[in-house]
Structure 1
Amino acid sequence: MIRTPLRPLAKILRARERGENPDDIEAEARRQRHEAVQDKARRRAEGRLALMASCFVLAFGVVGVRMGTLASSEPIEPQSEVMSAQIVSQRADITDRQGRVLATNLLTHSLYAHPHQMIDPVGAANALARIFPDLDAAELTKDFTGSRKFMWIKRKMSPEQMQAVHDIGEPGLLFGPREMRVYPNGHIASHILGGSGFGNEGVNSAEVLGVAGVEKAFDGWLRDPANDGAPLQLSIDLSVQSAMEQVLASGMEVMSAKGATGILMEIQSGEILAMASLPDFDPNDRPRPLLKGDPSDSPLFNRAVQGQYELGSTFKIFPVAQALDLQIINPNSGINTTTPMRIGKYRISDFSNYGPQLSATDVIVKSSNVGTVRIAQMIGVDRQKDFLQKLGFFDPLPIEMVEAPTGKPLVPTRWPAVTAATVSFGHGLAASPLHLAAAYATVANGGVKVTPTLIHGRTRPQGERILSERAAHRAVDMLRQVVTRGTARQAEVEGYEVAGKTGTADKPRPSGGYYDNKVVSTFASVFPASAPKYVMIVTLDEPSVTGPGGESRTAGATAAPVAAAIIRRLAPLVGLEPVTDENLPVIAPRFAPRVESQPADELKLSANQ
C-alpha cells in the first residue's frame, strides 16, 4: 500500500508562496490519516461483533429448537455412551425352569498391594499368610521388599477376610470393588453350568467370563446390556437335578463304578430336566483341567455329552424298529437265532443257546445278538447307515454347551459286513449317552425326531419323521416286555410302566482290543410305556456288584436297578401320576407275548481261530 506523504512538496511550495505556515499542512495530513485508521478499525470491530452476534443467535437457536423437540417428545431413560474402552462387569443370572437361581453375581472386593507404600512389609506378609493359608509368607516378603510397585494378592475374598486384612492397618494394602460369579447350589448341575473366571480386570472392576458349559455357550448373551438383565432360563428343574445326583451317586457307590451318567428328558419337547455326570465339581472353586492322562479321569469331564461309549445292546431296538417300519418283519416274525453265527473269520454268539428261532419280539426281550444281526442283514448296510445317521449317531448334537462338538460319535470309516453286524448290537460305534437319549426319544415320540435342548420354553420346528407311528409304538411295546420279562426286570417300578433296554459293552483298551473285566453298562428307558413322556438314560463306567450268584457287571444287574431307584424318586417330582388299576388305559394287545426267563445280556464276539 502506498502511503500519502505528510508534507507533499507541491502543497508546501504553494503555502510558502501564499505566506502560510507549511506545518499546518502536515498537521492536517496527520489528522486525516488518523481518521482513516480509526474508521477502518471501527468497521473491523463492527464486523467481528456482527459475526459473534450471529454465532450466539445460531447457537441459542439450536438449543431452543432442541429444547422444544425434547419437550414435545415422549420421556425415555437416557443412555450414556462412552467412546473409550471399558470393562463390562455385569452378567445376567441363570435360573432353572421354575425361576430358581442357579448362577448369580455377588459384590465382593479384590486385594492388591503397593509395596513402595508399605510401612511394615514383613509384618504384612506374615499377617496375610495367616488370613489366607494358600499364601506363602516368604514369597510375599520377597515381593513386598523388592522393586515391584503393584501386585495382585487376591482376586476375590469374603467379607470376613476383607475385615481381617483391614485390621492389619497397612496403608500399602488396598481393596478394589468387583463382582464375582456365585453358584449358590454348589455341585448341583456343575457340568451344565460349567463355571466362570475373570477376563479384563482393573482395581475397580473385572470382566466375568464363562469358561465352560452354558456359561461359555451364552457368554455374549449373558453380558449383553441390551437384555436389561433378563435371566437365562434353563430347562432343568433344580429339585429333579438334585434328586438325580443324590440317587445316582448312591448307585455309583453301591455298584463300585468309576463314573456315572444320568439323563432325564421330556420326549415331546426335548427339554432336559436333569443331566448328571459323576464325579462332579464345585463351579465356585473349579479345578484345573488335566494336562495328561485319560480326560475322563477329571471331574471336569462331562460323561453325558463328551463320553464316547459303545452302548451295547441298547442299540438293538434300532434295527428292529427300522425293520418294522420297512415291513420286513412284524413282532411275531420268526428270526433264525442258530448260534454261533459266522461272518468271515468272526464268530457271533449269544449269551445262551436260544434255539433255532425266536420271534422278533423275543430277539429284543432275550437280547439275542444273532437275531439282531439277522434282522440287520435283512435291512442292508446302506439303509442301516442312513437310518442311524437320521437318528443323529453320525454328528455332534446341537446341545447348548461348548463341549457338544467334542462328543462327536466315533463312526467306523469302513462299513463291511462284520461292522454292520456289530453296530446292530451296539459295538463298533461309540456315542454319548445324550445321543442315545435323543434316539430313544425319537422312537418313543411316535417316530418324530427329537433334538435335546437345555433352554426352557423355546419354540422350535417339528423334527423329521424317522419311523412310522405304528412301528414306533410296536418298538416301545417290545421295550416294555424287556422290563416285564426280560433282561431289565430289576428296572420295573410299580405304577410307572417302565420300558427299556439294557446294554453291556466291554471297554476298549487305549492300545487296542478290549478289557476282560471292565465294562460300560447302560439302561435306556422310556416311561410310562402306554403314553411315553420321559426318556431316562443311566450309564455306569466300570461297575461291579456282588450278589447271590457272584460278581456281575451286566447292565441288568447294575444300571437297571439304579435307573429304577432314580425313576422311583423323580417321577413324583415331575408330577407323573402312577398308573393303577383304576386309571390304567385300555390298549389292545398287538401280539401274544411268550413268557420265558432270561439271564442278563452279554456280548460274545471273537475271531474264529
Structure 2
Amino acid sequence: MTTVDLASMPSEVARRHHDDAPVHRPRVVRRASRDTRDSMRPRIRLAMIVFSLAFLTIIGRLVSLGMMEPVPGNYGVNPNDAIATGRPDIIDRNGEVLAADIKTASVYGEPRNIIDPDEAAELLVTVLPDLKVDALRKRLSGNAGFAWIKREITPKQRQAIHSLGIPGIGFLTENRRFYTAGPTAAHILGLVNVDNQGIAGVEKYVDDQWLADLHAAGFARGEELDPVQLSIDISVQHILHDELAQAMERYSAIAASGIILDAHTGEVMAMASIPDFDPNNPVDANKPDRLNRITAGVYELGSIFKSFTFAMALDSGAVTMNDRIDATNALRVGRFTINDFHGKHRVLTVPEVFIYSSNIGSARMAMKVGQEGQQAYLRKFGFFDIPKTDLPEVAAPMMPKKWSDLTMMTIAFGHGLAVTPLQVAIADAALVNGGKLIPPTFLKRSRAEADKLAVRMVSEETSRHMRDLFALNVEKGSGRKAAVPGYNVGGKTGTAEKAVAGGYSANKRLNSFLAAFPMDDPQYVVLVVLDEPKQAKDGGGATAGWNAAPTVEAVIRRTAALLGVKPRTIQDGVVLVSN
C-alpha cells in the first residue's frame, strides 16, 4: 500500500486530493441536528407555557391591585395629593372679582429621605422661626413618605430654604384664597380653611352645593371653573360698610349692622356687620362679637315691628285708615302696664298711632285681630321659621313659651319675639312692593325668576296704605332725619330696650330704622341696627330717630345713584322724575 504525504505535496495538489476524498461527516452531522431539534421542542413548549402563566399571573395581580382601595400609610405618598383644591372666582353683580385663587408655595419633608432630622429641623427653624424645633424634629423623623412643614410661605422663605440644600425637603405650589375687598364683604363671602375648603359664608355654600362633590369625584382640581356671581354691588357694599363704621364710632355703639335689599327680586345688594374680620387673615373670625348680626343674630327689634301689626290689622279688615284708637290711658294687663314713650294721652287716628309710635294704640290694634289672627299673619311673614338663604350662618327665631294676651300686646310693638334683621327686611319688602314676599338671595336673580317665587302676603291696597304711612313718618314723625331730598324716603324707627336677666335694661338699647325708597315706587329696602348707641358728642338724643335714622339717610344719599334710582320731585301730587 502506497503512502502519500499530503504535507509534502504542492498545495494545489493537496487541496485537490482533499476535495476528491469521500467525506461522510456532513450526513452524520445533519442527522444529529434534526434529532436534537426534535428532542428540544417539548422543552421549548414547556418554557413558553411557564412564561405565559407567569405573565398572566403578573397581569392579574396588577389588575387586582388597581381595583383595591388604597391603604392608608406613610409609604408611596404622592405630595401632589396634598395640594389645596382649586375654587371658582366669586364676582359681584357687575363682574368685579371679590375672591380668587392665587398661587403660593408650601414646604414639605420626606422623612425617610432625610439623613439627619436634628440638623434639618435646626436649619429650617432659622428660616421659619415660628416653628418649634422639637416638634419639627419629631415630624421629620421616621420612615414617613410625606409631612407638611409649613403651608403658604413667602418667596423669600422658599429661596432661603432651597439654599440650605437639605435632602428630602421639597416645595409644592398651592392654591390660596385672596379676598380683594378685605373685611368689607367678609360676612357675605365667608372664608376657607388651609386646604382651600369653604367653612363659612358663600364659600361654604358653594362647597355644600356642588364643589365638594366635584372635588371628591376627582374633578375641578386644576381646571378653570365658571365664576360664582353674587347679587351684591361691591361699590354699594363699601358705602354701607363705611357708614356703619362711622355710625359705630359717632354713637359709641358696641356694634352696627345693615342690609340693602331689592324689594322686587329679593337680591341682597349689600350687607355688613361690624365688628367683622379680614378673611385674608381671619385670626378674629371666631370671636363672639364677630358674628353676622343680620342673619345669625336674633333680636327684639322694638317699634319697627309695628309695621307688621299695622299691615295685619289693615289687611284683615279689623282696622281701617279712618279709624280712631284710644291711647288716652295706659293699658294694664295683670301686674304689667303698657305705656307710650311720648304719649299724647288722647284718641289717635291710625296714621297718628304710626307716626307717634304708640305702644298703646298698637296693642289695641292687635287685640282687634286676636291671638290666632296675629299668629297666622306672623307665620305668613316667616317670623316663625328659619329664613332660607344662601348663607349657612342663619339663626332660628326665639318664640314666646306661652302666647297670652300680654304676649300678643307686647309683640304688637316689638317685644316678646326675637327674629333676625334679615327676616324683618324681607317682610318689609312685601309691605311696600305690592304685597308679595320674595325669598332673599345673595346670588344674582332676575325679576322674572323672583316673580315665580313670590307669595302674596297682603293685598295691594294694604301695601299702598303702608307706603303712605312710611312716607308720612319720615315727613312728620320720628323718621324725619332719614329724609333725603329727591328720593322720597319712607320708614319706621325702632328703639328697643335690650332684654337682660330678669327683664329689660333701662339704659341699654337696640336702635333701628327700617326704610324703603322711593316711596312712590319702592325699589329698595334699607335696614340699619345699632347696638347700644350713645348720644352723639355734638348733641341730640339716644333714640333711633337721632342715630339709626340719620345713618340710613347717609347710606341712601350715597348709594341711590349707584343703585340706578333717579331723583324726583312731587308737584301737586304728581311725581316728576329727573332725567
TM class by smaller structure: 0.7 to 0.9
CA gap of 1:148–1:465, structure 2 versus 1, over 3 A, is same
Compute the displacement of 1:543 (Å).
1.0
Which one is further off, 329-338 or 172-181? 172-181
Cα contact 2:299–2:419 (8 A) shared by 1? yes
| Matched letter for residue 372 of structure 1 | S
Partners of 1:416 and 1:133 lie apart in 2 by: 64
Partners of 1:82 and 1:97 lie apart in 2 by: 46
Partners of 1:83 and 1:495 lie apart in 2 by: 72
2:523 maps to 533
CA RMSD of aligned residues (A): 3.4
1:4 maps to none
Partners of 1:237 and 1:338 lie apart in 2 by: 48
| Matched letter for residue 109 of structure 1 | A
Cα contact 1:310–1:505 (8 A) shared by 2? yes
Cα contact 1:112–1:152 (8 A) shared by 2? yes
Deviations 1:531-574 (A, max 9, x none): 00000010011111236766x43111121111111111111211
| Matched letter for residue 487 of structure 2 | Y
| Matched letter for residue 563 of structure 1 | V
Corresponding residue SS for 1:275: strand
Corresponding residue SS for 1:287: coil
Compute the displacement of 1:390 (Å).
0.6
| Matched letter for residue 445 of structure 1 | N
Deviations 1:51-80 (A, max 9, x none): x9xxxxxxxxxxxxxxxxxxxxxxxxxxxx
Cα contact 1:339–1:353 (8 A) shared by 2? no
Cα contact 2:105–2:153 (8 A) shared by 1? yes
Partners of 1:187 and 1:583 lie apart in 2 by: 46
Compute the displacement of 1:436 (Å).
0.6
1:364 aligns with 2:354: yes
Corresponding residue SS for 2:170: strand
| Matched letter for residue 433 of structure 2 | N
1:278 maps to 274
Deviations 1:326-369 (A, max 9, x none): 23322232111022111122100001331221110010101000
Deviations 1:483-534 (A, max 9, x none): 111111111111111111111111122x332223211111111011110000
2:309 maps to 319
1:385 to 375, 380, 383: 375
1:235 aligns with 2:222: no
CA gap of 1:578–1:168, structure 2 versus 1, over 3 A, is farther
1:173 maps to 169
Cα contact 1:339–1:348 (8 A) shared by 2? no
1:542 to 524, 528, 532: 532
Which one is further off, 89-98 or 255-264? 89-98
2:503 maps to 513
1:263 maps to 259
2:55 maps to none
Partners of 1:158 and 1:267 lie apart in 2 by: 46
CA gap of 1:413–1:536, structure 2 versus 1, over 3 A, is same
Partners of 2:455 and 2:553 lie apart in 1 by: 31
2:465 to 465, 474, 477: 474
Cα contact 2:106–2:152 (8 A) shared by 1? yes
Compute the displacement of 1:129 (Å).
4.4
2:344 maps to 354
CA gap of 1:435–1:144, structure 2 versus 1, over 3 A, is closer
Which one is further off, 328-337 or 395-404? 328-337
Partners of 2:373 and 2:484 lie apart in 1 by: 36
- Within 5 Å, give how 1:53-132 maps onto structure 2: 89-114=85-110, 125=121, 128-129=124-125, 131-132=127-128
Compute the displacement of 1:481 (Å).
1.3
Corresponding residue SS for 1:188: helix
Which one is further off, 553-562 or 216-225? 216-225
1:572 maps to 561
Q: Which runs of 5+ in 2 are unaligned?
A: 1-33, 53-65, 71-80
Compute the displacement of 1:273 (Å).
0.6
Partners of 2:367 and 2:574 lie apart in 1 by: 37
1:559 aligns with 2:548: yes
Partners of 1:182 and 1:546 lie apart in 2 by: 37
| Matched letter for residue 407 of structure 2 | T
Compute the displacement of 1:167 (Å).
3.1
Corresponding residue SS for 1:309: coil
Cα contact 2:114–2:140 (8 A) shared by 1? no
- Within 5 Å, give how 1:142-291 maps onto structure 2: 142-143=137-138, 151-199=147-195, 208-219=196-207, 220-223=209-212, 224=214, 225=219, 229-287=225-283, 290=286
Corresponding residue SS for 1:284: coil
Partners of 2:473 and 2:571 lie apart in 1 by: 25
2:318 maps to 328
Partners of 2:564 and 2:438 lie apart in 1 by: 22
Which one is further off, 334-343 or 158-167? 158-167
Corresponding residue SS for 1:373: helix
Partners of 1:495 and 1:254 lie apart in 2 by: 26
Compute the displacement of 1:124 (Å).
5.7
2:438 to 450, 458, 463: 450
Cα contact 1:124–1:168 (8 A) shared by 2? no
Partners of 2:385 and 2:429 lie apart in 1 by: 17
Deviations 1:15-43 (A, max 9, x none): xxxxxxxxxxxxxxxxxxx99xx9xx99x
1:435 aligns with 2:426: no
Which one is further off, 109-118 or 321-330? 109-118
- What TM-score results when the alignment is normalised by the length of structure 2? 0.79
1:30 maps to none
1:344 maps to 334
Which one is further off, 498-507 or 147-156? 147-156
Partners of 2:180 and 2:346 lie apart in 1 by: 59
Compute the displacement of 1:243 (Å).
1.6
CA gap of 1:419–1:581, structure 2 versus 1, over 3 A, is closer
Cα contact 2:342–2:356 (8 A) shared by 1? no
Compute the displacement of 1:416 (Å).
0.3
1:421 aligns with 2:412: no
Partners of 1:539 and 1:473 lie apart in 2 by: 25
| Matched letter for residue 516 of structure 1 | A
CA gap of 1:158–1:84, structure 2 versus 1, over 3 A, is farther
Corresponding residue SS for 2:360: helix
Partners of 1:116 and 1:472 lie apart in 2 by: 73
Corresponding residue SS for 1:519: strand
Corresponding residue SS for 1:572: coil
Which one is further off, 214-223 or 233-242? 214-223
1:523 aligns with 2:519: no
Compute the displacement of 1:253 (Å).
0.9
CA gap of 1:437–1:145, structure 2 versus 1, over 3 A, is closer
| Matched letter for residue 189 of structure 2 | L
| Matched letter for residue 339 of structure 1 | N
- What TM-score results when the alignment is normalised by the length of structure 1? 0.75
Identity, in percent, stands at: 40
Partners of 2:459 and 2:136 lie apart in 1 by: 74
Compute the displacement of 1:285 (Å).
2.0
Partners of 2:162 and 2:574 lie apart in 1 by: 69
| Matched letter for residue 322 of structure 1 | M
| Matched letter for residue 480 of structure 1 | A
1:498 aligns with 2:489: yes
